[in-house]
Structure 1
Amino acid sequence: MTEKAYILGMDIGTTSVKVCIYDPITKELLAKQNKDTAANIPSDQGIEGNKQDVPKIVSAVHYCVSRLPRDLLRHVNRIGVCGQMHGVVLWRNRAWEKIEKEGVVMRFDAIRENMSALYTWQDTRCKPEFLETLPKPDSHLKCYSGYGCATLLWMLKHKPEKLKNFSCSATVQDFVVAMLCDLDTPVISDQNAASWGYFNTEQNEWNTEILSSIEFPVNLLPKIIKSGEAAGILKSSWNGIPEGTPVGVAMGDLQCSIISTLETEQDAVLNISTSAQLAIVSDSISDLGCNTIEHLPYFDNKYLVVAASLNGGNVLATFVKMLQQWMLEFGFHIPQSKVWEKLIALGLNASDSNMKISPLLLGERHTPTSKASVENIDLSNIQLASVFKSLCDSLIENLHCMMPKEILQKGKIKRIVGNGSGLSRNVVLQRAVEHYYSLPLEFTSGGDAARGAAIAVVKIQNV
């Protein structure tokens, strides 16, 4: 009888942690768990800062894994990890501890005193005028606010003493991998390194000379490993997973979501959750004549051609919260689920209107100072149904401006595969996708980044 061999997949996202146990033979998910991290904390930069508490994120990881069936966990022989890209956390020494009971590791805890907060991809402290003072990266990719290197360069200028307190930096998912493998020096995948800025994807190297020239502490940069390779091994048995289990280097949640979803390279994948991304796979970097598209490292030396908008489900969620607040001020409390249900029902029956909404509530990386606005308001389109439909249309129209359908046609894309709760639960958005791109939108059984992380480490052998 063949010994069972499963993979633990983990996705450490912007708002939640998701984990699963994946059977690489049957390609089935045998179990899964998720938990909201509730990790946001106030920033000294006000609304321009965006920080999260890493111990709360680590606690959510423990919560999820500990609730997976033990009879499955003991057959896990590889661990794949992915998570929110661009962000940065700093730490010194080993900023974690193992909590043991009778010689068995029950959980890992992050030591808050030995680390910074996580500065996330949503952090906007790096204003255009600051970014313009920075040297140009030796890369086809730019460096934007919220990117790890940009945030560290901002600290170098405004809080240099803070940087001197730490010896390591990486993404939060890299921190979790370092914790599980008990690494002295963190490692980072080419996918996450590319999301930091100042990384050359073709040479697979940091721009250390450029960064050193402006006195950036390059000793803080993690070591680079190709996505899908091992970062180390589990140093202690953990929730029944055997000691010595290989742990893959942490990857980007976007790439893992794509590998979980993509069925053929004639598919485009549209993900709308907190933000929004439309992506297709390419063999190489090419000039598409569009500065709103990026080529990000994927797997097997391929690239993702991506339009990554900062405005997605977060904009619609803000609209819903605004309506809730208005009703509360009139003395009525309406649950969020009821607001969503009503809006989608109204939007499905709404006719087209001439209202034009710019949904750029969070700006965009290529135009960070842009704001949301509404034009052509008149008596015929002020009904809630018209406003909601116009808002959904505007989000897809914005994505279409970033990656026009002609690029998908040139890539011989036959359909768009949908992904993310922001899209799967909203039929009004789905109709807008088919309208703007003139392609069928379908949902497959994939789309889970935790599952993608498990798929991506299938080839890892014992380290």
Structure 2
Amino acid sequence: MGLFVGLDVGTQSVKLVAYDPDARQIVATAGQPLDLAAGDDGSREQRADWWVDAVRVCFSRIDPAVRARVVAIGVSGQQHGFVPLDRSGSVLAPAKLWNDTSTTAECDEIMDAVGGPARCIELAGNPILAGYTASKLPWTRKHRSQAYARMATILLPHDYINYWLTGELWMEHGDASGTGWLDVRRRDWSPEMLAATDPDRDLRECLPPLVPADHLAKIRPALADELGLPHSVRVSAGGGDNMMAAIGTGNVVPGVLSMSLGTSGTIFTYADRAVVDDQGRWAAFCDSTGGWLPLICTMNCTVATESVARLCGFSTRDGDALLANTRPGADGLLMLPFLNGERTPDLPHGRGSLFGMTATNLSRANLYRAAMEGAMYSLKYGYDGLVDAGLRFEAVRLTGGGSQSAVWRQMAADMFGLPVDVPEQAEGAAFGAALQAMWAVERASGGDADLSALAAAHVQPDPRLSAQPHAEATSAYQAHYQRFLTHLDAIRPLYAD
């Protein structure tokens, strides 16, 4: 069948996996770190050419014989980023990213223009939260007016890589959901939300066409030659990293809960209908298979543990060993790890807080555990909303960098009271992109490929990495989580503006 490549253009790095579906194994991987431009105002930006250069490096590290066998490429990308192009297709400004909180005021401006958050949910299914693409446009109009005036096309990060690969412009419904403009119920743009973002311009003229999840396009021949790929290579629709991670963890049927522990933390599940919350407690997104993906996102996950490790002078690779003699609750130390502001809970102006310090519990190990627990409590806060809505789950499928930690895995099992599985393919987003490309090629070849069956065949758990909940720890975490909620209520007024 040949090989299928998944590219994941993340915040910290670009990752490439080449998957052989006949052998059921990854035959090659490559990665390249990315820089991040961060400002005190909450801005988080990257240059689009950094992504392109990193993709080039990844392909250059793959054996030419492997590259020659590639059939198709799927691209996963960090959600919500804003890439403005001029009429010639040139990038006009650095891309503002998902974790950029400098546009919080613009979120409120857009929502006020349509009548508030509840009206946004009525119109499109989601409020405009910190980091969503919509708020980045009025910010750019104010602070980069020349770039905004020349803007002809609005792209998301994975859209831009698709454009670079193929020369064609498109969006798909999953990643488009994260703009704040897509009416997820109708799976089309909301004219009211677009007008609220810019009342003087028809932004729909700047948006590429929406394509189905099984869309395919040809790679540019000149680029195929540069990358050492066949001219016959196709590029699939791709999607946001969470949408691709859903495919890569087999979360394409109801009842599965995926949890991604990376720079951000996310939990999400498949639905065959739009699952919208009137209070906006979760993101009511579409997925990248033709369904929907109710999703919880936190902006501080491994960010918190990495910050503590850096402060205390050790590597996160040594974190599990450091925590060997700690217990749930970190001996009374509690962290609200809102280092980048926070989306869940909704505190875009929030900052990290540390509570319960004593002369005996303020150790490196307890501090590291408190960071890890705080990140998980934020995810639990969002999870409770999904459960309140009637969704039920039998197990957690874990992906992202945190999934490689035995302590993270056991903490997830204990805190959520569910068994935890980790797929054999650790790079869930990149692997999901490869599977989506394979599915699209099979459908284009005249087959009636079923994505759920394909995922069941190719997404297998690694039994060595499974974790079962311990009743005693689950009970202990219930009490510690209530303490987290109490402190959360206490600090909310401090960061209301």
TM-score scaled by length of structure 2: 0.78
SS of the residue 1:155 aligns to = helix
Q: CA offsets, 1:295-322, max 9 Å, x none? A: 3212443222222111100111112222
What's the CA shift for 1:228?
3.1
What's the CA shift for 1:73?
1.8
Match of 1:222 among 208, 219, 239: 208
Q: Which has the higher helix share?
A: 2
Distance 1:288 1:208, change over 3 A: closer
Within 2, Cα distance between the matches of 1:140 and 1:230? 28
Q: Which amino acid aligns with 1:173?
A: H
Alpha carbons 2:284, 2:294 under 8 Å: kept: yes
Distance 1:55 1:73, change over 3 A: same
SS of the residue 2:332 aligns to = coil
Distance 1:23 1:408, change over 3 A: farther
State the match for 2:157 in structure 1: 172
Matches for 1:339-354 after TM superposition, within 5 Å: 340-341=317-318, 343-351=319-327, 352=329, 353-354=331-332
SS of the residue 1:18 aligns to = strand
Matches for 1:22-41 after TM superposition, within 5 Å: 22-38=19-35, 40-41=36-37
What's the CA shift for 1:70?
1.8
Match of 1:125 among 84, 89, 102: 102
Alpha carbons 2:238, 2:244 under 8 Å: kept: no
The reply on whether 1:74 has 2:68 as its aligned counterpart is yes
Alpha carbons 2:173, 2:288 under 8 Å: kept: no
Q: Which amino acid aligns with 2:410?
A: R
SS of the residue 1:68 aligns to = coil
Q: Percent identity?
A: 20
Distance 1:308 1:280, change over 3 A: same
Q: CA offsets, 1:395-451, max 9 Å, x none? A: 2122111112982995442221211112322x3333322222111222221342111
Match of 2:418 among 439, 447, 452: 439
Alpha carbons 2:276, 2:284 under 8 Å: kept: no
Alpha carbons 2:260, 2:398 under 8 Å: kept: yes
Q: CA offsets, 1:132-185, max 9 Å, x none? A: 4443542112222322221012223444332112322201221121122123xx
What's the CA shift for 1:355?
2.6
Within 2, Cα distance between the matches of 1:243 and 1:372? 50
Within 1, Cα distance between the matches of 2:363 and 2:167? 57
Alpha carbons 1:8, 1:20 under 8 Å: kept: yes
Match of 2:188 among 205, 219, 233: 205
Within 1, Cα distance between the matches of 2:280 and 2:320? 33
Within 1, Cα distance between the matches of 2:191 and 2:75? 26
State the match for 1:161 in structure 2: 146
Q: Which runs of 5+ in 1 are unaligned?
A: 96-110, 325-335
Q: Which has the higher strand share?
A: 1
Match of 2:336 among 328, 339, 358: 358
Distance 1:307 1:443, change over 3 A: same
SS of the residue 1:257 aligns to = helix
What's the CA shift for 1:379?
2.8
Number of residue equivalences: 424
State the match for 1:100 in structure 2: none
What's the CA shift for 1:274?
0.6
Match of 1:403 among 368, 378, 383: 383
Distance 1:433 1:376, change over 3 A: same
The reply on whether 1:275 has 2:260 as its aligned counterpart is no
Within 1, Cα distance between the matches of 2:392 and 2:192? 40
Q: Which runs of 5+ in 2 are unaligned?
A: 446-497
Distance 1:160 1:171, change over 3 A: same
State the match for 2:249 in structure 1: 261
Alpha carbons 2:86, 2:152 under 8 Å: kept: yes
Q: CA offsets, 1:343-375, max 9 Å, x none? A: 432322123422322122222222212222122
Alpha carbons 2:16, 2:430 under 8 Å: kept: yes
